[in-house]
Structure 1
Amino acid sequence: MIAPFLIAYLVVFAYPVYKMFALSFTDAPLIGEGQWVGFGNYVKLFGQKLFYTSVWNTGYFVVLTVIPNTLIGLGLALMVVRLKGWLQSLILVLFFIPYILPVSVVTQIWQWVLDQQFGIAQHIIEFFTGKRVSVFRDPVWAMPMVALVTVWWTNGFNLLLFIAGLRNIPQDYYEAAMLDGATRLQCFRRITWPLIWPVTALVLTLQLILQLKIFDQVYLMTEGGPFNSTYVLLQLVYREAFRLNHGGVGSAVAVMLFLIIVVVSVLQYQLLRVRER
């Protein structure tokens, strides 16, 4: 009964992971075998300034997206859940539409919106800065703008998860609290927040894993620039493996990213369990 799943797991997941680790200890090109070099690829990697830059940028992007994306999704869900009937369905559809768009369409839309010459968002930027800014060519603006696009693109999924969690909270709790004179803020702190916490932990974990693997938006909008200010780990994998044909070094970067995701996810999960208790 478990044989189909086991075969698929070994072929699709376990074997590629094994090959990734094995190739990281060789000087293999992208396609083909190579000679054993031990930890040579990792030594070379830790000697690259670009590696540390990509780690920093990936962490910076995670900070800009994970918690804000979660909080915005929760805030929107608290407002949308109060709506009824077709109006609620319409609002959910409008928020979820960006999530089903391909990344190429999303980046093209925002490149138009943020274009320095005719982008409609430039009016807002000009109001606060006094000038128009080419945001994807400015090292200060580039990563926050990529984060903004990501939050706009992915928040619809978080909204649906929070809506599902809020609908599972019995209304009797709120009615009893209101009879006892509880305010809306007290209802949120004492009822909604504790009961929605498992969904919040799930959203935080999913967002952390997804945002650590950022690549598409950066590659299409900035290509890692300007001045490597948006260069991330998966882009380093792409550079080493596909552009320079260094399959071994590319695998070493992928292994480091894999370990970072595992360690950070486990730490976050343990912290969330402590918070839940």
Structure 2
Amino acid sequence: MSNTLDLTSENFQKILGEDSQNKLVLIEFYSPSSPESQQQTAIVTTIAAEYPEHLILAKLNCETEQTLAQQLAQQIGIQTIPALVLIKASAPVDMLAGPQTDAQIREALSKHLPSPDDLILEQAKQALLKGDMDNAYNFAKKAYAINPENARIKLVFADICLKIQKLEDAKSLIASIPMIDQDAYYTNIKAKLELALEALDSPEIKELQEKSAEDPNNLELKAQLAIQYNQVGRKEEALEALYSVLKKDLAFGDAKKTYLDVIATLPDGDSIALKYRRKLYSMLY
């Protein structure tokens, strides 16, 4: 649903009153016959489309809505068009008179809208709630790349990494959280991470490692060890163990299926997944 609409005498009270309580309203005073207005309209419309959940672009045609335009211009203090007025909670919070560049408009909006990294982080959180771990991971990674010092981004990213068993990444992110940002969310993730790290060297894994070292040609032991590695998040070690099995016997048990299943648990574009896909393809072809 578009967040751009025409401001008219019929809807202006709702938009400037009710709607502005929940979203930032950007009124664009423009004239279709003005080249400057046409140029600015293209810029404003493009920017508004980037904030569908947080911004309403209310376009006021000063030729067809003369009475409303004059009334609002007098109340706000507009003396020239094109002009942009930002409304929040029914009150003007900023005004840009005359033609504006893309950068000038974005700077004015940035004071009242979420930052790009916050918007991407929100997408990561929504994907996490839906259990869409691929998108959750990729959105969080993108937000972190934009603002690697943001503690909230790091915590959400660590939470996602923990859920997909990228434990070393989660550990690094948690370790970088400053004391001032170590809230209840941080404590919860840290506790879960510590439990996950403790499970990395379970008695079952140690026993299988010892047996495999004593009998290095036993493919069944290697396959069992790979399954244990995968269960505790040691993905690369699981894949390496399965790869060593497949190199000796490509048709050994469920090794190839397990190998592909482990890769499938990693997020799209993950470096480990790419590495071991290439290894398998080189073996097959």
Q: With CA pairs under 8 Å and 6+ residues apart, which has the higher RCO, 1 or 2?
A: 1
TM-score, scaled relative to structure 2: 0.26
Query: Which structure has the greater CA radius of gyration?
Result: 2
